[in-house]
Structure 1
Amino acid sequence: MRAMRFDRLDALRGLAIVWMAVFHFCFDLNHYGWIRQDFYRDPVWTGQRTAIVSLFLLCAGMGQALAIHQGLSWPRFWRRWGQVAGCALLVSLGSYLMYPRSFISFGVLHGMAVMLLLLRVAGPRLSNLAGLLLGLAALLLPLWLQHEFFDSRWTNWLGLVTHKPITEDYVPVLPWLGVMLWGFVLGRWLLLARPALLTGALPAFARPLAVLGRWSLSFYMVHQPVLIGLLMLAATMRA
Protein backbone atom coordinates (compact mmCIF):
# COMPACT_ATOMS: atom_id res chain seq x y z
CA MET A 1 0.00 0.00 0.00
CA ARG A 2 1.32 3.42 -0.92
CA ALA A 3 1.95 5.66 2.09
CA MET A 4 -0.17 8.77 2.40
CA ARG A 5 1.71 12.05 1.99
CA PHE A 6 1.17 14.85 4.47
CA ASP A 7 1.58 18.04 2.46
CA ARG A 8 1.91 20.29 5.51
CA LEU A 9 4.77 18.27 6.92
CA ASP A 10 6.42 18.19 3.49
CA ALA A 11 6.07 21.99 3.28
CA LEU A 12 7.64 22.42 6.71
CA ARG A 13 10.55 20.22 5.60
CA GLY A 14 10.76 22.25 2.40
CA LEU A 15 10.98 25.46 4.43
CA ALA A 16 13.87 23.95 6.38
CA ILE A 17 15.69 22.99 3.19
CA VAL A 18 15.31 26.49 1.71
CA TRP A 19 16.56 28.07 4.93
CA MET A 20 19.49 25.67 4.92
CA ALA A 21 20.36 26.51 1.31
CA VAL A 22 20.36 30.25 2.06
CA PHE A 23 22.55 29.63 5.11
CA HIS A 24 25.00 27.51 3.10
CA PHE A 25 25.09 30.10 0.32
CA CYS A 26 26.13 32.74 2.86
CA PHE A 27 28.71 30.32 4.27
CA ASP A 28 30.13 29.76 0.80
CA LEU A 29 30.24 33.51 0.13
CA ASN A 30 32.27 33.86 3.30
CA HIS A 31 34.55 30.93 2.43
CA TYR A 32 35.44 32.45 -0.94
CA GLY A 33 35.93 35.94 0.48
CA TRP A 34 32.86 37.67 -0.87
CA ILE A 35 31.67 38.56 2.64
CA ARG A 36 33.30 38.56 6.10
CA GLN A 37 31.33 36.76 8.81
CA ASP A 38 32.18 34.50 11.75
CA PHE A 39 30.02 31.42 11.19
CA TYR A 40 31.60 29.57 14.12
CA ARG A 41 31.08 32.10 16.94
CA ASP A 42 28.60 34.79 15.87
CA PRO A 43 25.19 34.02 17.48
CA VAL A 44 23.42 35.29 14.37
CA TRP A 45 24.84 32.32 12.44
CA THR A 46 25.23 29.71 15.17
CA GLY A 47 21.65 30.34 16.27
CA GLN A 48 20.38 29.87 12.73
CA ARG A 49 22.27 26.61 12.39
CA THR A 50 20.71 25.31 15.61
CA ALA A 51 17.25 26.32 14.43
CA ILE A 52 17.69 24.71 11.00
CA VAL A 53 18.96 21.40 12.39
CA SER A 54 16.20 21.41 15.01
CA LEU A 55 13.55 21.91 12.33
CA PHE A 56 14.98 19.08 10.22
CA LEU A 57 15.08 16.63 13.12
CA LEU A 58 11.64 17.65 14.34
CA CYS A 59 10.27 16.91 10.87
CA ALA A 60 12.16 13.60 10.78
CA GLY A 61 10.67 12.57 14.11
CA MET A 62 7.17 13.51 13.00
CA GLY A 63 7.70 11.65 9.75
CA GLN A 64 8.64 8.49 11.62
CA ALA A 65 5.53 8.73 13.78
CA LEU A 66 3.34 9.06 10.68
CA ALA A 67 5.16 6.24 8.87
CA ILE A 68 4.77 3.83 11.79
CA HIS A 69 1.12 4.81 12.12
CA GLN A 70 0.62 3.84 8.47
CA GLY A 71 2.34 0.48 8.97
CA LEU A 72 5.64 1.22 7.24
CA SER A 73 7.31 -2.15 6.68
CA TRP A 74 10.90 -2.86 7.67
CA PRO A 75 12.00 -3.40 4.03
CA ARG A 76 10.72 0.06 3.09
CA PHE A 77 12.36 1.54 6.17
CA TRP A 78 15.69 -0.09 5.27
CA ARG A 79 15.50 1.25 1.70
CA ARG A 80 15.05 4.80 2.94
CA TRP A 81 17.59 4.35 5.72
CA GLY A 82 20.12 3.04 3.21
CA GLN A 83 19.69 6.19 1.14
CA VAL A 84 20.33 8.42 4.17
CA ALA A 85 23.34 6.38 5.32
CA GLY A 86 24.80 6.20 1.81
CA CYS A 87 24.47 9.96 1.37
CA ALA A 88 26.14 10.45 4.76
CA LEU A 89 29.18 8.52 3.51
CA LEU A 90 29.28 10.64 0.36
CA VAL A 91 29.16 13.81 2.47
CA SER A 92 32.15 12.56 4.49
CA LEU A 93 34.09 11.81 1.31
CA GLY A 94 33.21 15.10 -0.37
CA SER A 95 33.99 17.17 2.70
CA TYR A 96 37.33 15.38 3.12
CA LEU A 97 38.32 16.41 -0.40
CA MET A 98 37.44 20.06 0.34
CA TYR A 99 38.30 20.31 4.05
CA PRO A 100 40.76 17.50 4.93
CA ARG A 101 41.46 18.93 8.39
CA SER A 102 37.81 19.56 9.31
CA PHE A 103 35.88 17.06 7.21
CA ILE A 104 32.45 15.87 8.33
CA SER A 105 32.68 12.57 10.15
CA PHE A 106 29.32 12.82 11.93
CA GLY A 107 27.07 15.50 10.51
CA VAL A 108 23.32 15.83 10.16
CA LEU A 109 22.85 12.84 7.83
CA HIS A 110 25.06 10.60 9.98
CA GLY A 111 23.10 11.65 13.05
CA MET A 112 19.77 11.11 11.30
CA ALA A 113 20.78 7.61 10.19
CA VAL A 114 21.57 6.53 13.76
CA MET A 115 18.63 8.34 15.34
CA LEU A 116 16.08 7.06 12.82
CA LEU A 117 17.16 3.51 13.57
CA LEU A 118 16.84 4.08 17.32
CA LEU A 119 13.45 5.69 16.85
CA ARG A 120 12.19 2.91 14.60
CA VAL A 121 13.04 0.31 17.26
CA ALA A 122 12.09 2.19 20.43
CA GLY A 123 9.42 4.66 19.28
CA PRO A 124 6.42 2.30 19.11
CA ARG A 125 7.25 1.02 22.61
CA LEU A 126 7.27 4.48 24.21
CA SER A 127 4.29 6.32 25.61
CA ASN A 128 4.09 10.02 24.80
CA LEU A 129 5.12 10.90 28.35
CA ALA A 130 8.11 8.56 28.19
CA GLY A 131 9.12 10.06 24.86
CA LEU A 132 8.97 13.59 26.26
CA LEU A 133 11.00 12.64 29.34
CA LEU A 134 13.61 10.71 27.36
CA GLY A 135 13.86 13.62 24.95
CA LEU A 136 14.47 16.00 27.83
CA ALA A 137 17.10 13.63 29.26
CA ALA A 138 18.85 13.47 25.86
CA LEU A 139 18.96 17.27 25.71
CA LEU A 140 20.33 17.68 29.24
CA LEU A 141 22.72 14.73 29.54
CA PRO A 142 25.58 16.32 27.53
CA LEU A 143 25.50 19.24 29.98
CA TRP A 144 25.99 16.94 32.97
CA LEU A 145 28.16 14.12 31.60
CA GLN A 146 31.30 14.83 29.58
CA HIS A 147 34.58 12.96 29.28
CA GLU A 148 37.75 13.21 27.21
CA PHE A 149 37.18 9.65 25.99
CA PHE A 150 34.43 10.99 23.74
CA ASP A 151 36.59 13.69 22.11
CA SER A 152 38.02 11.49 19.30
CA ARG A 153 36.45 11.15 15.87
CA TRP A 154 35.63 7.53 16.69
CA THR A 155 33.63 8.38 19.83
CA ASN A 156 32.40 11.96 19.46
CA TRP A 157 29.29 10.76 17.61
CA LEU A 158 27.63 10.14 20.98
CA GLY A 159 27.93 13.81 21.95
CA LEU A 160 29.47 13.64 25.44
CA VAL A 161 32.51 15.67 24.38
CA THR A 162 34.45 18.12 26.52
CA HIS A 163 34.79 20.49 23.55
CA LYS A 164 33.25 20.74 20.10
CA PRO A 165 35.38 18.98 17.46
CA ILE A 166 36.90 20.86 14.53
CA THR A 167 34.55 19.86 11.75
CA GLU A 168 32.33 21.54 9.18
CA ASP A 169 29.19 19.89 10.57
CA TYR A 170 28.56 18.09 13.85
CA VAL A 171 25.19 16.61 14.87
CA PRO A 172 25.83 13.98 17.56
CA VAL A 173 23.18 11.63 18.92
CA LEU A 174 23.11 13.59 22.17
CA PRO A 175 21.51 16.09 22.53
CA TRP A 176 19.87 15.94 19.09
CA LEU A 177 18.02 12.68 19.71
CA GLY A 178 15.91 14.69 22.12
CA VAL A 179 14.63 16.91 19.31
CA MET A 180 13.76 13.91 17.12
CA LEU A 181 11.99 12.20 20.05
CA TRP A 182 9.90 15.31 20.64
CA GLY A 183 9.06 15.43 16.95
CA PHE A 184 7.97 11.79 17.14
CA VAL A 185 5.73 12.51 20.13
CA LEU A 186 4.35 15.62 18.43
CA GLY A 187 3.51 13.72 15.26
CA ARG A 188 1.77 10.93 17.16
CA TRP A 189 -0.19 13.42 19.28
CA LEU A 190 -1.30 15.39 16.22
CA LEU A 191 -2.57 12.21 14.55
CA LEU A 192 -4.79 11.44 17.51
CA ALA A 193 -5.77 14.87 18.80
CA ARG A 194 -5.42 17.36 15.93
CA PRO A 195 -5.34 15.41 12.64
CA ALA A 196 -6.66 18.40 10.68
CA LEU A 197 -3.39 20.24 11.36
CA LEU A 198 -1.60 17.53 9.39
CA THR A 199 -4.12 16.76 6.67
CA GLY A 200 -5.42 20.26 5.92
CA ALA A 201 -4.96 21.83 2.49
CA LEU A 202 -1.97 23.99 1.70
CA PRO A 203 -2.24 27.56 0.37
CA ALA A 204 -1.01 27.91 -3.18
CA PHE A 205 2.22 29.70 -2.22
CA ALA A 206 3.30 26.78 0.01
CA ARG A 207 2.80 24.00 -2.55
CA PRO A 208 6.28 24.38 -4.10
CA LEU A 209 7.71 23.94 -0.58
CA ALA A 210 5.80 20.67 -0.23
CA VAL A 211 7.25 19.40 -3.52
CA LEU A 212 10.73 20.40 -2.39
CA GLY A 213 10.18 18.72 0.97
CA ARG A 214 9.45 15.41 -0.74
CA TRP A 215 12.84 15.58 -2.44
CA SER A 216 14.75 17.00 0.52
CA LEU A 217 17.52 14.38 0.51
CA SER A 218 18.23 14.83 -3.20
CA PHE A 219 18.22 18.60 -2.83
CA TYR A 220 20.55 18.35 0.17
CA MET A 221 23.07 16.34 -1.81
CA VAL A 222 23.18 18.57 -4.90
CA HIS A 223 22.73 22.09 -3.55
CA GLN A 224 26.27 22.64 -2.25
CA PRO A 225 28.09 21.43 -5.39
CA VAL A 226 25.79 23.69 -7.44
CA LEU A 227 26.29 26.72 -5.19
CA ILE A 228 30.06 26.24 -5.01
CA GLY A 229 30.23 25.75 -8.78
CA LEU A 230 28.32 28.98 -9.38
CA LEU A 231 30.54 30.93 -7.02
CA MET A 232 33.69 29.55 -8.64
CA LEU A 233 32.32 30.54 -12.03
CA ALA A 234 31.49 34.01 -10.74
CA ALA A 235 35.00 34.32 -9.28
CA THR A 236 36.51 33.37 -12.63
CA MET A 237 34.41 35.95 -14.44
CA ARG A 238 35.30 38.62 -11.88
CA ALA A 239 39.04 37.97 -12.13
Structure 2
Amino acid sequence: MGNCSPSCLHKMGTNPLSRFAFLDASRGVAILLMVIYHFSYDLDYFHFVDWDLYNSPYWIHFRSLIVTLFISIAGISLALACRHTLITTAYLRRLSLLIACALLISIVSYLMFQHRYIFFGILHFIAVASILGLLFVRRFWLSLSVGVLCLFVGGWVQHPLFNQPSLQWFGLMTHKPRTEDYVPLLPWFGVFLIGIACGEQLQRLTKTLKRFTQTMQQTGHPLLIWLGKRSLWIYLLHQPLLMGVLWLGMTIKRLFG
Protein backbone atom coordinates (compact mmCIF):
# COMPACT_ATOMS: atom_id res chain seq x y z
CA MET A 1 0.00 0.00 0.00
CA GLY A 2 1.11 3.60 -0.62
CA ASN A 3 1.72 6.26 1.96
CA CYS A 4 -1.33 7.78 3.62
CA SER A 5 -0.70 11.35 2.51
CA PRO A 6 -3.43 13.93 1.79
CA SER A 7 -4.18 11.93 -1.36
CA CYS A 8 -5.60 9.15 0.77
CA LEU A 9 -8.48 11.48 1.65
CA HIS A 10 -9.88 10.71 -1.76
CA LYS A 11 -9.94 6.96 -1.20
CA MET A 12 -12.99 5.39 0.32
CA GLY A 13 -12.89 2.22 2.40
CA THR A 14 -15.59 -0.38 1.89
CA ASN A 15 -15.62 -1.62 5.48
CA PRO A 16 -16.08 0.48 8.63
CA LEU A 17 -12.96 1.08 10.67
CA SER A 18 -12.72 -1.55 13.39
CA ARG A 19 -12.20 -0.22 16.87
CA PHE A 20 -9.50 -1.66 19.11
CA ALA A 21 -10.75 -2.06 22.66
CA PHE A 22 -7.31 -1.47 24.17
CA LEU A 23 -7.26 2.03 22.66
CA ASP A 24 -10.71 2.78 24.04
CA ALA A 25 -9.64 1.52 27.47
CA SER A 26 -6.45 3.60 27.36
CA ARG A 27 -8.46 6.66 26.37
CA GLY A 28 -10.84 5.85 29.22
CA VAL A 29 -7.93 5.95 31.68
CA ALA A 30 -6.93 9.37 30.29
CA ILE A 31 -10.52 10.59 30.69
CA LEU A 32 -10.63 9.48 34.35
CA LEU A 33 -7.34 11.24 35.09
CA MET A 34 -8.58 14.36 33.31
CA VAL A 35 -11.79 14.44 35.38
CA ILE A 36 -9.72 14.11 38.56
CA TYR A 37 -7.45 16.96 37.47
CA HIS A 38 -10.31 19.26 36.48
CA PHE A 39 -12.24 18.48 39.66
CA SER A 40 -9.14 19.46 41.62
CA TYR A 41 -8.92 22.65 39.55
CA ASP A 42 -12.59 23.41 40.25
CA LEU A 43 -12.15 22.88 43.99
CA ASP A 44 -9.34 25.43 43.93
CA TYR A 45 -11.28 27.80 41.66
CA PHE A 46 -14.23 27.90 44.08
CA HIS A 47 -11.84 28.22 47.07
CA PHE A 48 -12.75 24.91 48.69
CA VAL A 49 -9.00 24.16 48.75
CA ASP A 50 -5.81 26.14 48.20
CA TRP A 51 -3.73 24.25 45.64
CA ASP A 52 -1.18 25.80 43.28
CA LEU A 53 -2.08 24.01 40.05
CA TYR A 54 -0.11 26.47 37.91
CA ASN A 55 3.28 26.17 39.62
CA SER A 56 3.35 22.97 41.68
CA PRO A 57 5.58 20.32 40.01
CA TYR A 58 3.08 17.62 41.03
CA TRP A 59 0.16 19.22 39.22
CA ILE A 60 2.29 20.24 36.22
CA HIS A 61 3.54 16.66 35.76
CA PHE A 62 0.06 15.27 36.34
CA ARG A 63 -1.33 17.46 33.55
CA SER A 64 1.58 16.56 31.26
CA LEU A 65 0.84 12.85 31.78
CA ILE A 66 -2.81 13.35 30.81
CA VAL A 67 -1.95 15.38 27.69
CA THR A 68 0.69 12.80 26.70
CA LEU A 69 -1.86 9.99 26.94
CA PHE A 70 -4.47 11.80 24.85
CA ILE A 71 -2.04 12.91 22.15
CA SER A 72 -0.16 9.62 21.81
CA ILE A 73 -3.46 7.70 21.59
CA ALA A 74 -4.64 10.16 18.91
CA GLY A 75 -1.45 9.46 16.92
CA ILE A 76 -1.86 5.70 17.25
CA SER A 77 -5.51 5.97 16.20
CA LEU A 78 -4.62 7.95 13.07
CA ALA A 79 -2.03 5.36 12.05
CA LEU A 80 -4.52 2.52 12.53
CA ALA A 81 -7.21 4.48 10.67
CA CYS A 82 -4.90 4.58 7.62
CA ARG A 83 -3.72 1.00 7.91
CA HIS A 84 -5.64 0.05 4.74
CA THR A 85 -7.17 3.23 3.39
CA LEU A 86 -8.62 6.25 5.14
CA ILE A 87 -12.41 6.41 5.20
CA THR A 88 -12.90 9.93 3.90
CA THR A 89 -16.35 10.65 5.26
CA ALA A 90 -15.53 9.38 8.76
CA TYR A 91 -12.26 11.34 8.86
CA LEU A 92 -13.80 14.59 7.64
CA ARG A 93 -16.81 14.21 9.92
CA ARG A 94 -14.63 13.75 12.99
CA LEU A 95 -12.26 16.55 11.94
CA SER A 96 -15.19 18.94 11.46
CA LEU A 97 -16.55 17.95 14.87
CA LEU A 98 -13.15 18.57 16.49
CA ILE A 99 -12.85 22.01 14.89
CA ALA A 100 -16.39 22.96 15.91
CA CYS A 101 -15.81 21.81 19.49
CA ALA A 102 -12.47 23.63 19.66
CA LEU A 103 -14.16 26.86 18.55
CA LEU A 104 -16.90 26.29 21.13
CA ILE A 105 -14.28 25.86 23.86
CA SER A 106 -12.62 29.13 22.80
CA ILE A 107 -15.90 31.03 22.89
CA VAL A 108 -17.06 29.64 26.24
CA SER A 109 -13.65 30.11 27.85
CA TYR A 110 -13.54 33.71 26.60
CA LEU A 111 -16.91 34.40 28.23
CA MET A 112 -15.66 32.87 31.49
CA PHE A 113 -12.01 33.93 31.66
CA GLN A 114 -11.69 36.81 29.14
CA HIS A 115 -7.96 37.30 28.50
CA ARG A 116 -7.13 33.79 29.79
CA TYR A 117 -9.38 32.15 27.20
CA ILE A 118 -8.30 28.93 25.46
CA PHE A 119 -6.97 29.83 22.02
CA PHE A 120 -4.98 26.63 21.38
CA GLY A 121 -5.86 23.84 23.77
CA ILE A 122 -5.97 20.07 23.43
CA LEU A 123 -8.82 19.99 20.89
CA HIS A 124 -7.25 22.71 18.75
CA PHE A 125 -3.99 20.78 18.78
CA ILE A 126 -5.53 17.41 17.89
CA ALA A 127 -7.43 18.98 14.99
CA VAL A 128 -4.26 20.52 13.52
CA ALA A 129 -2.15 17.42 14.23
CA SER A 130 -4.76 15.18 12.58
CA ILE A 131 -4.24 17.15 9.36
CA LEU A 132 -0.45 17.39 9.49
CA GLY A 133 -0.16 13.78 10.62
CA LEU A 134 -1.48 12.51 7.28
CA LEU A 135 1.92 13.36 5.82
CA PHE A 136 3.60 10.88 8.19
CA VAL A 137 1.38 7.80 8.46
CA ARG A 138 2.85 4.62 6.95
CA ARG A 139 6.26 6.25 7.23
CA PHE A 140 7.63 4.77 10.43
CA TRP A 141 11.17 6.14 10.40
CA LEU A 142 10.09 9.57 9.21
CA SER A 143 7.43 9.92 11.92
CA LEU A 144 9.79 8.60 14.60
CA SER A 145 12.76 10.79 13.65
CA VAL A 146 10.73 13.97 13.10
CA GLY A 147 8.85 13.23 16.33
CA VAL A 148 12.08 13.06 18.33
CA LEU A 149 13.29 16.24 16.61
CA CYS A 150 10.05 18.06 17.53
CA LEU A 151 10.49 17.02 21.17
CA PHE A 152 14.06 18.28 21.20
CA VAL A 153 13.31 21.60 19.46
CA GLY A 154 10.14 22.21 21.49
CA GLY A 155 11.89 21.43 24.75
CA TRP A 156 15.10 23.40 24.22
CA VAL A 157 14.55 26.16 21.67
CA GLN A 158 12.96 29.47 22.64
CA HIS A 159 12.83 32.77 20.77
CA PRO A 160 11.04 36.10 21.43
CA LEU A 161 9.66 35.99 17.88
CA PHE A 162 7.14 33.36 18.98
CA ASN A 163 5.86 35.51 21.86
CA GLN A 164 3.67 37.52 19.50
CA PRO A 165 -0.01 36.47 19.68
CA SER A 166 -0.21 35.22 16.07
CA LEU A 167 2.58 32.67 16.65
CA GLN A 168 1.90 31.54 20.22
CA TRP A 169 0.06 28.43 18.99
CA PHE A 170 3.31 27.17 17.49
CA GLY A 171 5.28 27.01 20.75
CA LEU A 172 8.93 28.02 21.26
CA MET A 173 7.82 30.97 23.42
CA THR A 174 10.08 32.40 26.13
CA HIS A 175 7.18 32.30 28.60
CA LYS A 176 3.87 30.47 28.99
CA PRO A 177 0.97 32.53 27.66
CA ARG A 178 -1.95 33.54 29.87
CA THR A 179 -4.48 30.87 29.00
CA GLU A 180 -6.43 28.16 30.80
CA ASP A 181 -5.22 25.39 28.48
CA TYR A 182 -2.16 25.50 26.24
CA VAL A 183 -1.01 22.63 24.02
CA PRO A 184 1.34 24.19 21.41
CA LEU A 185 2.36 22.45 18.22
CA LEU A 186 5.92 22.08 19.54
CA PRO A 187 6.86 19.97 21.38
CA TRP A 188 3.52 18.12 21.42
CA PHE A 189 3.49 17.26 17.73
CA GLY A 190 6.51 15.12 18.54
CA VAL A 191 4.38 13.05 20.92
CA PHE A 192 1.71 12.74 18.22
CA LEU A 193 4.27 11.56 15.63
CA ILE A 194 5.76 9.02 18.02
CA GLY A 195 2.20 7.80 18.56
CA ILE A 196 1.91 7.36 14.79
CA ALA A 197 5.17 5.40 14.79
CA CYS A 198 3.84 3.16 17.57
CA GLY A 199 0.64 2.67 15.59
CA GLU A 200 2.68 1.57 12.58
CA GLN A 201 4.37 -1.09 14.70
CA LEU A 202 1.06 -2.21 16.17
CA GLN A 203 -0.22 -2.97 12.67
CA ARG A 204 2.34 -5.77 12.47
CA LEU A 205 0.68 -7.38 15.48
CA THR A 206 -2.80 -7.57 13.96
CA LYS A 207 -3.58 -11.10 15.14
CA THR A 208 -2.30 -10.40 18.63
CA LEU A 209 -4.33 -7.19 18.77
CA LYS A 210 -7.49 -8.98 17.69
CA ARG A 211 -7.08 -11.62 20.40
CA PHE A 212 -6.28 -8.95 22.98
CA THR A 213 -9.32 -6.93 21.88
CA GLN A 214 -11.61 -9.94 22.19
CA THR A 215 -10.24 -10.69 25.66
CA MET A 216 -10.78 -7.11 26.82
CA GLN A 217 -14.30 -7.02 25.44
CA GLN A 218 -15.20 -10.26 27.20
CA THR A 219 -13.35 -9.98 30.52
CA GLY A 220 -11.75 -6.54 30.52
CA HIS A 221 -12.84 -3.16 31.79
CA PRO A 222 -16.20 -2.23 30.22
CA LEU A 223 -16.35 1.10 32.07
CA LEU A 224 -13.01 2.25 30.66
CA ILE A 225 -14.01 1.13 27.16
CA TRP A 226 -17.34 2.95 27.51
CA LEU A 227 -15.60 6.14 28.63
CA GLY A 228 -13.04 5.89 25.83
CA LYS A 229 -15.71 5.61 23.15
CA ARG A 230 -17.36 8.79 24.43
CA SER A 231 -14.23 10.76 25.33
CA LEU A 232 -15.05 13.88 23.29
CA TRP A 233 -18.52 14.33 24.78
CA ILE A 234 -17.27 13.66 28.29
CA TYR A 235 -14.54 16.26 27.70
CA LEU A 236 -17.14 18.82 26.65
CA LEU A 237 -19.72 18.13 29.36
CA HIS A 238 -17.83 17.16 32.50
CA GLN A 239 -16.59 20.65 33.40
CA PRO A 240 -20.01 22.38 33.20
CA LEU A 241 -21.43 19.59 35.38
CA LEU A 242 -18.60 19.68 37.92
CA MET A 243 -18.53 23.46 38.13
CA GLY A 244 -22.32 23.59 38.37
CA VAL A 245 -22.36 21.17 41.31
CA LEU A 246 -19.56 23.04 43.11
CA TRP A 247 -21.20 26.41 42.44
CA LEU A 248 -24.41 25.06 43.95
CA GLY A 249 -22.46 23.76 46.95
CA MET A 250 -20.76 27.13 47.41
CA THR A 251 -24.11 28.95 47.19
CA ILE A 252 -25.68 26.64 49.79
CA LYS A 253 -22.64 27.13 52.04
CA ARG A 254 -22.99 30.90 51.83
CA LEU A 255 -26.72 30.78 52.55
CA PHE A 256 -26.65 28.35 55.45
CA GLY A 257 -22.99 28.38 56.52
TM-score, with length taken from structure 1:
0.94
Could you tell me which amino acid in structure 2 is paired with residue 167 of structure 1?
T
Determine the structure 1 residue equivalent to 2:201. 189
For residues 35 and 190 of structure 1, the distance between their equivalents in structure 2, rounded to whole angstroms, comes to: 43
Helix, strand or coil at the partner of 2:158: coil
Runs of 4+ in 1 over 3 A off after TM superposition: none
Determine the structure 1 residue equivalent to 2:102. 88
Asked if structure 1 preserves the Cα contact closer than 8 Å seen for 2:137 and 2:200, the reply is: no
For residues 148 and 135 of structure 1, the distance between their equivalents in structure 2, rounded to whole angstroms, comes to: 24
Could you tell me which amino acid in structure 2 is paired with residue 71 of structure 1?
T
Determine the structure 1 residue equivalent to 2:164. 152
For residues 160 and 195 of structure 1, the distance between their equivalents in structure 2, rounded to whole angstroms, comes to: 42
The correspondence of residues 132-211 of structure 1 with structure 2, limited to 5 A, is 132-193=144-205, 195-197=207-209, 199-200=211-212, 201-202=215-216, 204=219, 206-211=221-226
For residues 102 and 210 of structure 2, the distance between their equivalents in structure 1, rounded to whole angstroms, comes to: 29
For residues 215 and 193 of structure 1, the distance between their equivalents in structure 2, rounded to whole angstroms, comes to: 26
Which consecutive residues of structure 1, in runs of 5 or more, have no partner in the other structure? none
Determine the structure 2 residue equivalent to 1:101. 115
Could you tell me which amino acid in structure 1 is paired with residue 247 of structure 2?
M
For residues 30 and 60 of structure 2, the distance between their equivalents in structure 1, rounded to whole angstroms, comes to: 15
Could you tell me which amino acid in structure 1 is paired with residue 58 of structure 2?
V
Alignment counterpart, residue 224 of structure 1, candidates 230, 239, 246: 239
More off after superposition, 184-193 vs 24-33: 184-193
Which consecutive residues of structure 2, in runs of 5 or more, have no partner in the other structure? 1-14
Alignment counterpart, residue 37 of structure 1, candidates 35, 51, 58: 51
Determine the structure 1 residue equivalent to 2:86. 72
Asked if structure 2 preserves the Cα contact closer than 8 Å seen for 1:62 and 1:184, the reply is: yes
More off after superposition, 142-151 vs 157-166: 142-151
Deviation at 1:110, TM superposition (A): 0.6
1:198/1:111 Cα in 2 relative to 1: closer, same or farther (>3 Å)? farther
Could you tell me which amino acid in structure 1 is paired with residue 153 of structure 2?
L
Helix, strand or coil at the partner of 1:123: coil
1:199/1:191 Cα in 2 relative to 1: closer, same or farther (>3 Å)? farther
Q: Please tell me the root mean square deviation across aligned C-alpha atoms, in Å.
A: 1.5
CA offset digits 1:25-52 (Å, max 9, x no partner): 0000001000111001101100000000
Deviation at 1:101, TM superposition (A): 2.0
For residues 172 and 198 of structure 1, the distance between their equivalents in structure 2, rounded to whole angstroms, comes to: 35
Asked if structure 1 preserves the Cα contact closer than 8 Å seen for 2:151 and 2:187, the reply is: yes
More off after superposition, 40-49 vs 144-153: 144-153
Deviation at 1:147, TM superposition (A): 1.8
Over alpha carbons, which structure has the higher Rg?
A: 2
CA offset digits 1:72-92 (Å, max 9, x no partner): 223321111011111000111
Deviation at 1:195, TM superposition (A): 4.7
CA offset digits 1:48-85 (Å, max 9, x no partner): 00000000001101100110014222332111101111
Determine the structure 2 residue equivalent to 1:233. 248
